[in-house]
Amino acid sequence: MAAATAAALIELRDLRKDYGGQDGSPAVQVLRGVDLQIRQGEFVAIVGASGSGKSTLMNILGCLDRPSAGQYLFNGSDVAAFDADRLAWLRREAFGFVFQGYHLIPTESACENVELPAIYAGLPEPQRRQRAAALLARLGLAQRLDNRPHQLSGGQQQRVSIARALMNGGRIILADEPTGALDSQSGAEVMQLFHELADAGHTIILITHDREVAAQARRVIEVRDGSIIGDSGAAPDAPAQAMPDLREAAASQPPARRWRDELREAARAAWRVMWVNRFRTALTLLGIVIGVASVIVMMAIGLGTRQQVVAQLGRFGSNLMYMAAIGESSRIPGRSITLQDLEAVADLPNITHVLPNVTGNKVVRHGNQDIQTYVRGTGAGLPEVQTWPLARGAFFTAEDERELASVAVLGYRLARELMPEVPDPVGQMVLIGNSPFQVIGVMSEKGALSGDRDEDNLLLMPFSTAGAKVFGQREPTYTVMAVADVGRIQDTQQQLEALLLERHGIRDFSIGNAAASIAAEASTRDTMTMMLSLVAAVSLLVGGIGVMNVMLMTVRERTREIGIRLATGARQRDILRQFLTEAVLVTLVGGAAGVGLGVAVGLALMAAGVPLIFSLTAMLAAFGCAVLTGLLFGYMPARRAARLDPVVALSTA
């Protein structure tokens, strides 16, 4: 009896609660100076007409709401000084709530609803399940563990909520009209339960408008218009069973929970909610899936085309410049590009090779075989400049050029067609017109690379020989120049133009390079890739906004659930974590599906011949972006949810 008389468990001093008043509306005084002491182990009924302020009083007693004025001492300490975590601790460890409307979480089973307070108290899962099952069995619901609330009758739901109130010990049970929604039989059963709990030493505060129900308590307090107008006083027979010292417990911090358990719990709850709302979740996911997939596919296409351009650059020789005379002057000897011009060109910096070319179609004869072919007189540097190796023999040398040697190198196809039965054409003689030429080499097959087999139907000989003996022309038809540094090719081309302009006085030549045209094409493709990527990024953003929208809706829809969680002892960060986990889980699933879809679409495009290169970086980035958007857009609604006042959240429809 000493513990009971020492200090009241709950003491209210001149407690007041007003509503309104700030926004111009007249303030409503709901509680007008309540003084009340409740000792440990009491079974109290608070009775009064509807609207007299009973629920308001209970919400304040249970720390779901704060008074406007006056003091609330719990075990001697002023509750007003408690921070949010401490209040959560109090709700979790000291109180157990039973509401008229049951307030069960609709997406969770009976057993999971009962387990809820223990989750926030950090009880490991096996013990939690076992205890919840035992409590439900004690209340006659052993067969109903896995039923969702909507599958239970009102009486059964109320028993589930009583089991939940007892889960963490239920030292103080606060019951607001617990029988209000029940038929008389179920109501009587619930009252019987309260009697048993009172006998077991639980402190019970029962709120009712029904005098008959109130009369069953050991102490009856009557309220009217926010004031206590009657109190039967503490029953003389104080509780037989001592309760653990709450004062000591209240001073300690909540137990540290393992983050892995917390995360698993949050993920499980999040998954449940996603599954229950799977249609809506799927629609949200669609936005993210499309966003991620399009980012991946666009990047792959961009990379693929870029690679193709690079390959083209390699094939066509990005280090080459071409120059030819144009217009009137090209037909006037001495006014076209001359060998003296070329000597000056060779002295320009960055130019490594200058190949003058003179070309034309001629008939080539071997034995009695005549073939029309493309004859090209060129420089000794050709195999190196055009990276075109020989298949047999050797290429002609600078000395051959100087001496106007009558030597020829055959293209791969020409060699085969001109002398099909000769195993090695090297050493054979061919005739062009009446001039004999000795075959000294055969080029490797070039058409196999470019797809143009005509490239192999040609005959190469020294530029000087071709000019003198085949074409009767001293000036090159066109000139190929190789540069050392491709990065400076544009500068070199400008220098070349300036040089020729100085020598000729007029622009009677044209100069070009493969790199310029390929680079131009590459840049248009780059622009296209960038635009496509932008579209992809925008769709990812739209997906993120979808997540935010759903999160906002979810929070609004589930405000009452948040209230229930807060009432059972969830801290703000538990709520925040849960909603964030949901957002991240949605985006994780969406992101993974997006990567899958992106790869599938990419593979299909590849099969259709679109050049495509998957980039792991792009996949990770798109996936990461999706999850980040989820976090970002999920955070604000989640924070809003976490900061809700329990009583506000609970009273939402």
What residue 30 binds from Mg ion, ligand ADP, none (CB within 5 to 8 A, per partner kind)? ligand ADP
- Out of 5, 6, 14, 19, the residue judged to bind ligand ADP by CB under 6 A: 19
Interacting positions 41-80 with ligand ADP (CB under 6 A)? 48, 50-56
CA atoms within 13 A of residue 447's CA, in its CB half-sphere:
11
Q: How far is the CB of 204 from ligand ADP (least distance, A)?
A: 17
Judged by CB under 6 A, does residue 30 bind ligand ADP? yes
- Which two structure tokens, joined as six digits, stand for 182? 């029940």
Nearer to Mg ion, 46 or 132 (CB): 46
Q: How far is the CB of 55 from ligand ADP (least distance, A)?
A: 3
Piece in contact with Mg ion (CB under 5 A), picked from 49-57, 197-205, 230-238, 476-484: 49-57
What residue 28 binds from Mg ion, ligand ADP, none (CB within 5 to 8 A, per partner kind)? ligand ADP
Task: Give the three-class secondary structure for 314.
Answer: helix
Q: How far is the CB of 554 from ligand ADP (least distance, A)?
A: 24
Q: How far is the CB of 210 from Mg ion (least distance, A)?
A: 12
Site string for Mg ion, 7-46 (x = CB under 5 A): ----------------------------------------
Q: How far is the CB of 139 from Mg ion (least distance, A)?
A: 24
Nearer to Mg ion, 141 or 564 (CB): 564
What residue 634 binds from ligand ADP, Mg ion, none (CB within 5 to 8 A, per partner kind)? none
Place of tokens 């028993």: 159
Nearer to Mg ion, 55 or 386 (CB): 55
Closest CA relative to residue 570, chosen from 266, 359, 268: 266
Judged by CB under 6 A, does residue 27 bind ligand ADP? no
Amino acid letter, residue 601: V
Nearer to ligand ADP, 497 or 645 (CB): 645
Neighbouring CB atoms inside 10 A of 398's CB total: 11
Neighbouring CB atoms inside 10 A of 95's CB total: 26
| Gap between the terminal Cα atoms of the chain | 44
What residue 378 binds from Mg ion, ligand ADP, none (CB within 5 to 8 A, per partner kind)? none
What residue 48 binds from ligand ADP, Mg ion, none (CB within 5 to 8 A, per partner kind)? ligand ADP
Is-contact 139 147, C-beta < 8 A?
no
Nearer to ligand ADP, 209 or 257 (CB): 209
- Out of 5, 6, 14, 28, the residue judged to bind ligand ADP by CB under 6 A: 28
- Which two structure tokens, joined as six digits, stand for 439? 């075959």
- Which two structure tokens, joined as six digits, stand for 253? 């911090």
What residue 107 binds from ligand ADP, Mg ion, none (CB within 5 to 8 A, per partner kind)? none
Burial class (CB in 10 A: 0-12, 13-18, 19+), 524: exposed
Alpha helices in 123-241 (DSSP H): 125-138, 154-167, 184-199, 211-214
What residue 51 binds from Mg ion, ligand ADP, none (CB within 5 to 8 A, per partner kind)? ligand ADP
338/118 Cα distance (integer angstroms): 96
Nearer to ligand ADP, 535 or 648 (CB): 648
Task: Give the three-class secondary structure for 76.
Answer: coil
Nearer to ligand ADP, 17 or 39 (CB): 17
637/76 Cα distance (integer angstroms): 37
- Strand order across the 172-176 sheet: 95-98, 172-176, 203-208, 43-48, 219-224, 227-231
Question: How far, CA to CA in Å, does 177 sit from each of 63, 138, 158, 254, 291?
Answer: 18, 22, 11, 30, 51
Q: How far is the CB of 176 from Mg ion (least distance, A)?
A: 6
State the DSSP H helix or E strand holding residue 609, giving kind and residue range, or none if neither.
none
Is-contact 536 60, C-beta < 8 A?
no
Is-contact 273 565, C-beta < 8 A?
no
Q: How far is the CB of 28 from ligand ADP (least distance, A)?
A: 5
Nearer to ligand ADP, 31 or 323 (CB): 31
User: For the chain, how many residues are written?
Assistant: 653
Nearer to Mg ion, 49 or 538 (CB): 49
Nearer to ligand ADP, 29 or 539 (CB): 29
Alpha helices in 471-615 (DSSP H): 489-504, 514-557, 559-567, 572-607
Q: How far is the CB of 38 from ligand ADP (least distance, A)?
A: 18
Q: How far is the CB of 294 from ligand ADP (least distance, A)?
A: 48
152/553 Cα distance (integer angstroms): 27
Q: How far is the CB of 49 from ligand ADP (least distance, A)?
A: 7
- Residue 506 backbone phi and psi in degrees, to 5: -130, 165
Nearer to ligand ADP, 228 or 481 (CB): 228
Cβ contacts of 400 within 8 Å, gap of 6 or more: 380, 407, 462, 465
Q: How far is the CB of 650 from ligand ADP (least distance, A)?
A: 11
State the DSSP H helix or E strand holding residue 382, giving kind and residue range, or none if neither.
helix 382-385
Site string for ligand ADP, 270-309 (x = CB under 6 A): ----------------------------------------
What residue 624 binds from Mg ion, ligand ADP, none (CB within 5 to 8 A, per partner kind)? none
Nearer to ligand ADP, 68 or 329 (CB): 68
355/353 Cα distance (integer angstroms): 6
Q: How far is the CB of 18 from ligand ADP (least distance, A)?
A: 9
Interacting positions 506-535 with ligand ADP (CB under 6 A)? none
Nearer to ligand ADP, 28 or 538 (CB): 28
Is-contact 227 32, C-beta < 8 A?
yes
Measured over all CA atoms, what is the biggest interatomic distance in the chain, rounded to whole angstroms?
A: 140
Q: How far is the CB of 56 from ligand ADP (least distance, A)?
A: 3
- Judged by CB under 5 A, the number of residues near Mg ion is 1
Is-contact 393 441, C-beta < 8 A?
yes
For the chain, state the CA radius of gyration.
Answer: 46
Place of tokens 């076992």: 130
What residue 19 binds from ligand ADP, Mg ion, none (CB within 5 to 8 A, per partner kind)? ligand ADP
Judged by CB under 5 A, does residue 55 bind Mg ion? yes
462/397 Cα distance (integer angstroms): 8
Nearer to Mg ion, 55 or 168 (CB): 55
State the DSSP H helix or E strand holding residue 636, giving kind and residue range, or none if neither.
helix 616-642
Q: How far is the CB of 206 from ligand ADP (least distance, A)?
A: 13
Q: How far is the CB of 12 from ligand ADP (least distance, A)?
A: 15
What residue 171 binds from ligand ADP, Mg ion, none (CB within 5 to 8 A, per partner kind)? none
Q: Which residues bind ligand ADP (CB under 6 A)?
A: 19-20, 28, 30, 48, 50-56
Q: Which residues bind Mg ion (CB under 5 A)?
A: 55
